[in-house]
Structure 1
Amino acid sequence: MSLTLENLSRIVDGVDYIRNANLTFEAGSFNVLLGRTLAGKTSLMRLMAGLDKPTEGRLIYNGNDVTGQSVQRRNISMIYQQFINYPNLSVYENIASPLRLAKMPESEIDRRVKETAAMLRIEPLLKRFPLELSGGQQQRTAMARALVKDATLVLFDEPLVNLDYKLREELRAELRDLFRERQCIAVYATTEANEALALGGTTTLLHEGRVVQSGPVMDVYRKP
């Protein structure tokens, strides 16, 4: 399983959001997009998700061209900076919501929700509502909802930026451990070089919509 970006560009009103990006992401990999604000990280992830269409280039998934495929037909999950949870639903129902949309059997929903909640250490909170949770617990709930459906591509758009330092360190470590056990493609956007170093994996450096460098994080760090 792999996702390849071939000469991918998105140009809006003459402005390069992304220009000629060529990247390949492999199954089981953890990939960091590093760049300052407006470098093109979110634009690139929106193209990968199918939320936006490229002006030029192709997206190849497992050898198949999915460039024009809608987001609804792609097995992806996206996690944002904000704690996007349904306030009127319990933690359990928040996590279960994508499975209910997929009309999975109740027994399978229950198994997956409890398994994912345990993995993210929020199993004791399943009966609570989002407003009864701390910031870290709310973000774990949002992550659990994104991970529960076994997406083949998981996109993290600066998911820890609104948390305090201690919580960020804790969740970074959890993310590294979590994706060692999964065979999906994980892509994580950040403005912080220290965060890219802490997360490890592959780092792609973006600047003004262009890929400047990509490779193992320590190679990018030592030989910029």
Structure 2
Amino acid sequence: MQLELEGIGKKVGAETWLHPMNLALRSGAVTVLLGATQAGKTSLMRIMAGLDTPSQGRVLVDGKDVTGMPVRERDVSMVYQQFINYPSMTVARNIASPLLLRKAPDVDQRVRELAAKLHIEMFLERLPAELSGGQQQRVALARALAKQAPLMLLDEPLVNLDYKLREELREELTSLFASGDSTVVYATTEPGEALLLGGYTAVLDEGELLQYGPTAEVFHRPRSLRVARAFSDPPMNLLQADACEGGVRLRGGPELTLALPASAGAAQMTVGLRASALRVHGRPGDVSLPGTVELAEISGSDTYVHVHTLVGELVAQLTGVHYFELGAPITLYVSPAQAYVFDGSGQLALAPERAGGH
């Protein structure tokens, strides 16, 4: 299915929920809608599904205008944050319902395959009310996958699951999406989830579409400060700087030798450093940023160190488990080649040729 939004906008009373935008989804691929709560992800999905009508613009499916066509007349499956299941049917029957409607072959086998991938095979004979919220969400997800609709809309489907299960299911979903023919739209607030799912990412903020493209490209080349803020976890370190002859000088700190394009001008700059680009051991060509440890937190297999420096507050993401004494002196190091530079209007002026890992 080729889904295209032409000048889609949504107003509710005096409030603008979606600013006019154009978006052509890649057929058979995953498109991630990435943005904070209230960014407009759900509003956009409801228009895609036919649950809402836009205030302006058109929705095209395979070139046909379907704006205003009700959801029951479209072949769409949707999973919300708040799961919806048939309470009087067993888990197996819930998952099988779209397969039975279209008289698909090997229904039992398909139900068991999906249940196994979503770790609910032991609950097939139970009713939804006998399951936890996370288990019920997985039933709703299995039913949506079973439908194999040309358009599948998933609105933060893993948000109610625990961390370990979320990690496992992301991998399963990535392979399930890759093996299917559906055009998948997946909404999330988590940059890490967008990176794991791959495909394409549309970054939304306060109802505006800021950037759309291959996920890796949007991550490594955020078009603006707003995109960089939305697509960084932990948040990108943003530091005030001034253009100088050899590149930029951090206010209160060292100069970063960079070949700025002439279009960058000589206005005030903002330098962005991803947390993963900062290190505690220097390499040739690095600049040093001395400071003191304010907080060190261990999350999974990484340690996040919050450091107070003369150039500003920095967060470094260090691989492995490290221990730091609060208030202790520390020096962070970074290669100028890993710096992002944004011009005075917040637009990207320079990005690393190969940005540091997430």
Distance across 2 between alignment mates of 1:18 and 1:53? 12
Runs of 4+ in 1 over 6 A off after TM superposition: none
1:24 Cα shift?
1.0
Asked whether the equivalents of residues 91 and 126 of structure 2 are also in contact (C-alpha less than 8 Å), the reply is yes
1:13 and 2:17 are equivalent in the alignment: no
User: Judging changes above 3 Å, is the alpha-carbon distance between structure 1 residues 165 and 14 closer, same or farther for their aligned structure 2 residues?
Assistant: same
TM, length-normalised to structure 1? 0.90
Q: Name the SS for the 2:147 alignment partner.
A: coil
Aligned residues, how many? Answer: 222
Distance across 1 between alignment mates of 2:127 and 2:186? 27
Asked whether the equivalents of residues 134 and 160 of structure 2 are also in contact (C-alpha less than 8 Å), the reply is no
- The Cα offsets for residues 91-132 of structure 1, whole Å up to 9 and x where unpaired, read as 1121133455x4x44866546534543554544432122244
The residue number in structure 2 matching 1:144 is 142
- Structure 2 unaligned regions, length at least 5: 223-358
Asked whether the equivalents of residues 117 and 172 of structure 2 are also in contact (C-alpha less than 8 Å), the reply is no
- The Cα offsets for residues 163-216 of structure 1, whole Å up to 9 and x where unpaired, read as 111011011111100011111110111111121112211110001111000111
- 1:129 aligned to 127, 130, 133, which one? 127
Give the % identical residues.
56
Q: Which has the higher strand share?
A: 2
Asked whether the equivalents of residues 75 and 150 of structure 2 are also in contact (C-alpha less than 8 Å), the reply is yes
Structure of higher RCO (CA pairs closer than 8 Å, 6+ residues apart) = 1
1:140 Cα shift?
2.2
Larger radius of gyration: 2
The residue number in structure 1 matching 2:160 is 162
Q: Which has the higher helix share?
A: 1
Q: How much is the aligned-residue C-alpha RMSD, in angstroms?
A: 2.0
The residue number in structure 1 matching 2:209 is 211
- The Cα offsets for residues 115-153 of structure 1, whole Å up to 9 and x where unpaired, read as 543554544432122244455433221111112222111
Asked whether the equivalents of residues 118 and 169 of structure 2 are also in contact (C-alpha less than 8 Å), the reply is no
The residue number in structure 2 matching 1:90 is 90
Distance across 1 between alignment mates of 2:163 and 2:114? 24
Asked whether the equivalents of residues 16 and 208 of structure 1 are also in contact (C-alpha less than 8 Å), the reply is no
Tell me the amino acid that sits aligned with residue 206 of structure 1.
Answer: L
Q: Name the SS for the 1:26 alignment partner.
A: coil
1:22 and 2:22 are equivalent in the alignment: yes
The residue number in structure 1 matching 2:36 is 36
- Structure 1 unaligned regions, length at least 5: none
**Which region of structure 1 is more displaced relative to structure 2, 44-53 or 81-90?**
81-90
